[in-house]
Amino acid sequence: MARVIVIGAGLAGLASAVRLAKLGHQVTVCEQDGRLGGALGRVDADGFSWDAGAASTTLPAALRDLFRKSGRPIESLVQLDPITQPRRHLFGDGSVLDLPVGDRAGQLDAWTDLAGAKTAQRWTDLVDSYGETWQVLRKTSLEPPLMDRLPWSAIRVLKPWQSLARVADSRLDDARARAVLRYYATQHGSDPKLTPGYVGVWSYLERTFGRWTVDGGFGAVADALAQRTSERKVDVRTQSEVVAVRSKNGTVTGVRLADGTQLPAEIVVSDIDPRELYERLVDDPRAKKVRRKVLSTHQAQAAYVVHLGLQEPVPELPFETVLHGDPTVVVRTGGVAPAGHRAWSVLVHGYPTDDVLDLLVARGLHIRDKVVSRQTSSSWLAGVAWEGFRTARKRAANVSPVKGLYCVGAGAHPGTGVPATTLGAAIVADAIGKA
């Protein structure tokens, strides 16, 4: 049995903690804030409740595997529900696309109705082609740690030198279809021109596995993980900031807290920004190369988030609506509201020069006089920005060159989002193994 300290209680940190506790290790979680869950949180005000960060996920198997491998199935704590409403796309020319998720035939019909059979077939063929991309990514980087060198057969499928913008321009014949594909980079704070084309695989994952949420808000997943830490007897310490990772002869020996407390450990799992970890917390000669590499990356552009409590009647929108333009604005309607009201979250991807309500009105959503509550959330962090395909090698690896040190979370491999961070925790648990 190893003594394990997890720095940070975000999704990846909690996922690592409960997996490792189930494997028989003695686990302590140190979280500098007073609450658990990180981006999986809630904003409560004036009788309304909104998801602070993530509100849905694809690849529900990743969450199900997490709960199964740490104890009982997720359904014993929360119920994952499929989102049956299409994602709505509103374009600058006034056209509207309601694009189903988890429905290949439905997507073909939706594109046919909007742009004709040729465009519909091009979209379908492109998404189909990402099936092979998914198999390569799954086998080379999402289940095992990222391979040091990919085989040529994998490189030939991924074509990492092609940007998502280039794939959109070469494979799609309609500007609106190109905008929808580029959105898979925009939503994570990256420029489609600098994002590898294989990131479009998320279009295949959504169509194949659908999107899933939790009744009452995705923050319930954080609550379920907090309960699981209790069941697994994880020592959770809030208001406990780690200021140093201690090591000797290239091997982790523990951490030091802001109050001077020294906690010994054979294993440290970090769920904080790797740039902060390697620049401020780790002072070990073996980390010199990875420090230089990680510090050469840049944070993805965070979404500016405003939560609105609205009095009915308001426009009837699906779970998620994407208002394409500059900036891209996303409206999520899955919040909890009192009777006769609605709870919307508005995410602005880009640099907003106008007020959120002005942006909505300009895109045709006239709800200014319906606002009874307005809460500005802290920016939704989005991990590392893509700056070409080599960014994948600059992102912090799950296994550090400092023995006993591991990295998970949005800034580490395999990236941001609920599925990726959950899979990263699985990689680390597998690498550490049973006690």
What is the pLDDT tens value at each position of the chain, 435 positions in all?
Answer: 899 999 999 999 999 999 999 999 999 999 999 989 888 888 999 999 999 888 999 999 999 999 999 999 999 999 999 999 999 999 999 999 999 999 999 999 999 999 999 999 999 999 999 999 999 999 998 888 877 788 899 999 999 999 999 999 999 999 999 999 999 999 989 999 999 999 999 999 999 999 999 987 888 999 999 999 999 999 999 999 999 999 999 999 999 999 999 999 999 999 999 999 999 999 999 999 999 999 999 999 888 999 999 999 999 999 999 999 999 999 999 999 999 999 999 999 887 778 999 999 999 999 999 999 999 876 655 689 999 999 999 999 999 999 999 999 999 999 999 999 999 999 999 999 998
How many whole angstroms separate alpha carbon 97 and alpha carbon 91?
8
Same structural domain for residues 363 and 414?
no
Q: Which of 245, 258, 243, 256 is nearest to 286 (CA)?
A: 245
Q: Is position 245 within any domain?
A: yes
Same structural domain for residues 258 and 286?
yes
Same structural domain for residues 132 and 14?
no
Q: Under a CB-based contact definition with an 8 Å cutoff, are residues 255 and 245 in contact?
A: yes
Question: CATH number of the domain that 351 lies in?
Answer: 3.30.70
| pLDDT attached to residue 142 | 86
Domain coverage including residue 317: 303-380
| pLDDT attached to residue 276 | 95
Same structural domain for residues 168 and 253?
no
Q: Is position 88 within any domain?
A: no
Same structural domain for residues 119 and 141?
yes
Same structural domain for residues 343 and 278?
no
**Residue-level length of the chain:** 435
| pLDDT attached to residue 144 | 80
CA atoms within 13 A on the CB side of 15: 31
Look at residues 143, 178, 208 and tell me which one is the last residue of a structural domain. Answer: 208
Same structural domain for residues 110 and 189?
yes
The string of DSSP codes covering 353-404 is: -S-HHHHHHHTT---GGGEEEEEEEEEE---BPP-STTHHHHSBPSB-SSBT
The string of DSSP codes covering 42-98 is: EEEETTEEEESS---BS-HHHHHHHHHHHSS-GGGT--EEE--SPEEEE-TTS-EEE
Q: Is position 96 within any domain?
A: no
Look at residues 208, 226, 244 and tell me which one is the last residue of a structural domain. Answer: 208
How many whole angstroms separate alpha carbon 161 and alpha carbon 171?
15
Q: Is position 49 within any domain?
A: no
Overall domain count for the chain:
3
| pLDDT attached to residue 379 | 60
Look at residues 191, 208, 225 and tell me which one is the last residue of a structural domain. Answer: 208
Question: CATH number of the domain that 134 lies in?
Answer: 1.10.405
Same structural domain for residues 173 and 254?
no
pTM score: 0.94
How many whole angstroms separate alpha carbon 173 and alpha carbon 165?
13
Same structural domain for residues 425 and 328?
no
Q: Is position 48 within any domain?
A: no
CA atoms within 13 A on the CB side of 401: 15
Q: Is position 59 within any domain?
A: yes
Q: Is position 90 within any domain?
A: no
Same structural domain for residues 350 and 408?
no
Same structural domain for residues 230 and 366?
no
Q: Under a CB-based contact definition with an 8 Å cutoff, are residues 278 and 292 in contact?
A: no
Same structural domain for residues 64 and 129?
no
Question: CATH number of the domain that 282 lies in?
Answer: 3.50.50.60
Q: Is position 95 within any domain?
A: no
